[in-house]
């Protein structure tokens, strides 16, 4: 986990000490990176030049350094860590088994093995969730 904003490392230190450590025991356990000037945010498509800040963007990168998922949001809504964890588990499962995860998959639910035998037969193994 890497957190990035356009704040300085000094700001990160004080935020951790003064606020985050009061929300999370011991403070957040991951590096807080400084993207002053938005140079990194620019190549990731999340730097807002008008505001001079990186907007909310989340990138999931696999052990080979390949981006597997990204989510970018305007500032007013925070993220959902449960959805992030679901995606990490799904991509890890796909990487380990070659299986694919249908819409709405959560750990423990049926996965699909892609191949000619499954064409036109997905309905036999996957039912849409009733809400």
Partner 1 sequence: MAEASTPPRDACVKPARGPIISQSEGAAPAAVPQKEEKASMLARVGKPAPDFEASAYVDGGFKNVKLSDYKGHWVVMCFYPGDFTYV
| CB of 74 vs partner 1, minimal distance in Å | 10
Q: Which is nearer to partner 1, 70 or 122 (CB)?
A: 70
* Other beta carbons less than 10 A from residue 14's beta carbon: 12
Q: List b or e across 60-79, with b for residues whose CB sees 16 or more CB atoms inside 10 angstroms.
A: eeeeeeeebeeeeeeeeeee
Segment near partner 1 (CB under 8 A), from 37-45, 99-107, 110-118, 123-131?
A: 37-45
62-91 mask for partner 1 (x: CB under 8 A)? xxxxxxxxx----xxxxx----x---x---
Closest contact distance (angstroms) between CB of 76 and partner 1 is 7
The whole-angstrom separation of Cα 126 and Cα 118 is 11
User: Cβ of 87: how many Cβ atoms within 10 Å?
Assistant: 17
In the complex, the smallest distance separating the C-beta of residue 11 from partner 1, rounded to whole angstroms, is: 5
């Amino acid at each position: 986990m890497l957190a990035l904003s356009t704040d300085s490392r000094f700001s990160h230190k004080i935020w951790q000490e003064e606020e985050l450590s009061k929300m999370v025991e011991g403070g957040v356990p991951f590096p807080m990176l400084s993207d002053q000037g938005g140079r990194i945010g620019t190549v990731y498509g999340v730097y807002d030049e008008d505001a001079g800040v990186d907007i909310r963007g989340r990138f999931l990168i696999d052990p080979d350094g390949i981006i597997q998922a990204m989510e970018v949001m305007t500032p007013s809504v925070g993220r959902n860590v449960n959805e992030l964890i679901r995606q990490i588990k799904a991509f890890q499962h796909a990487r380990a088994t070659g299986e694919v995860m249908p819409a709405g998959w959560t750990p423990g639910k049926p996965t699909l093995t892609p191949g000619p035998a499954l064409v036109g037969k997905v309905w036999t193994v996957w039912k849409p969730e009733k809400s």
